[in-house]
Amino acid sequence: MATTGTSRRAPEQSWLGQWNSNVTSYYLLVGATGLLTVIGLIMVLSSSTVTSIAEGDSPYAAFLVQAQYALMGLPVLLVAAHLPVRWYKRLALPALLVALALLVAVIFLGSVRNGQQNWLVLGPITFQPSELAKLALAVWLGTVLGRKQALLGSWSHAIMPAVPGAVAVLGLVLGGGDLGTALVMALLVAGAFLVAGVPWSLLGLGSALAAFVVGYVFIIQQDSGDRLQRIIATYGAECDEASECYQSLHGLFGLGTGGLWGVGLGGSREKWNYLPEAHNDFIFAVIGEELGLFGTVLVLALFAVLGLATSRVIRRHPDPFVKVTTAAVACWIVGQAFVNIGVVIGLLPVIGVPLPLVSAGGSALITTMGALGMLISFARTEPGAAKALAARGSVVRKSLAVLGGAVRRR
């Protein structure tokens, strides 16, 4: 009887041991990042074939472009995952200055797309500096707030220089009309300040000012009539295909059609030019239509895993810089994911925010992979993680050597 009881408890103890392992954060980050990237490539292929053919291109055109960006992002992720923490601290200020310079260049030289001036064309390269600015701002905030953590109880130390730097970046992004990216950056800043331990009164004041700015840009500003119509369409009593909620309606049609298991990969009807931005901002609707509730819950669960892994890094890592930077990146990526999903399911007005790692887009994909690579680097430096990873790597190398010897003997 005692033996039976012990055998029943063993699996539970084994599971708890794995959960409390020093490398759990590392494997959660690697696994969720890889799965979301693969799902993104599959769904970009599925959701873009019809529109690519309609435009006279190959049915694989958008997928091949996205695959190229993923291949470009992979070495960025690998380098970021092996870069020592001290190098991120050294690169923080230069990265922020470069990001500010690029955002200023966007104001004067940027290309306008979908009513937003947030693209910069440098010869054959077209990219969004605001995506690079997210990563630069997260690392810089981690550096300045982490260095002054013992002094952040004072408003003067909490404000300078973090608040002016964040306001400069947000102001330049709003200057290009990109409210969606500015909202995501506000989440990033809030996460950094919250984990750093700034006074709650300062956080409350910052939240009130942010709400005022959003209200001004969305409602009061004279050229924001289309944004106001989106709010009315989202929260008003009347909503039909002739109004601003056309896109939201068709997103809901796709989600409703999918049911529990979906209509099958490639079987979406909404992607036949009914749903705008099907392979970009509204790709979650195509996931729901083709893969059903199972597919949407899987995507939600993977972003929840990212949030769980980052919370472990914040709790377990001794470096204040790592804690603050991880919180900023987590609020950026996970927060942006839930903002995008909120738009698709009709809880938020359409503001043009893509689903990280899943939606089509090169600048966003490469930068997000780089940011997650940085978090993987942080997870590798948790107490005991480096030793555990080295031990597991040694076991793998010995196993491969044994297998190779057996093959040669044959």
Angle between helices 129-147 and 179-196 (to 10 degrees): 10
Reported as a single tens digit per residue, the pLDDT across 62-95 is 999 999 999 999 999 999 999 999 999 999 999 9
Considering the domain boundaries, does residue 389 fall inside one? no
Considering the domain boundaries, does residue 387 fall inside one? no
Residue 240 has pLDDT above 80, yes or no: no
Considering the domain boundaries, does residue 121 fall inside one? yes
Give CA–CA dist 171/175, Å, rounded. 6
Which residues fall within 8 angstroms of residue 279, CB to CB, at 6 or more apart?
Answer: 43, 44, 47, 48, 51, 62, 271, 286, 359, 360
pLDDT of residue 395: 44
pLDDT of residue 243: 58
Confidence tier at 407 by pLDDT (50, 70, 90): very low
Residue type, 313: V
Considering the domain boundaries, does residue 5 fall inside one? no
pLDDT of residue 235: 61
pLDDT (mean) for 173-198: 89
Query: Greater confidence, 156 or 261?
Result: 261
Work out how many domains the chain is built from and give that number. 1
User: Which H or E element spans position 37?
Assistant: helix 24-54
pLDDT of residue 221: 55
Confidence tier at 403 by pLDDT (50, 70, 90): very low
Neighbours of 64 (CB within 10 A): 14
Considering the domain boundaries, does residue 223 fall inside one? yes
Query: Greater confidence, 333 or 248?
Result: 333
Closest CA to 224 of 246, 241, 244, 251: 244
pLDDT of residue 408: 54
Mean confidence (pLDDT) of the chain? 84
Confidence tier at 149 by pLDDT (50, 70, 90): confident
pLDDT (mean) for 344-359: 88
**Of 11-25, 117-131, 226-240, 255-269, which gets the smallest average pLDDT?**
226-240
- Do residues 267 and 290 touch, judged by C-beta distance below 8 A? yes
pLDDT of residue 175: 83
For 127, what's the count of Cα atoms within 13 Å in the CB-facing half-sphere? 19
| Domain residue limits at 336 | 24-379
Give CA–CA dist 51/57, Å, rounded. 9
- Do residues 80 and 377 touch, judged by C-beta distance below 8 A? yes
Give CA–CA dist 167/178, Å, rounded. 15
Give CA–CA dist 330/311, Å, rounded. 8
Residue percentage of the chain with pLDDT more than 70: 82
Considering the domain boundaries, does residue 394 fall inside one? no
Give CA–CA dist 326/203, Å, rounded. 19
User: Which 3 state secondary structure label does DSSP give 134?
Assistant: helix
Reported as a single tens digit per residue, the pLDDT across 102-148 is 999 988 887 777 667 788 887 778 889 999 999 999 999 999 998 88
Say if strands 111-113 and 116-122 run parallel, antiparallel, or are unpaired: antiparallel
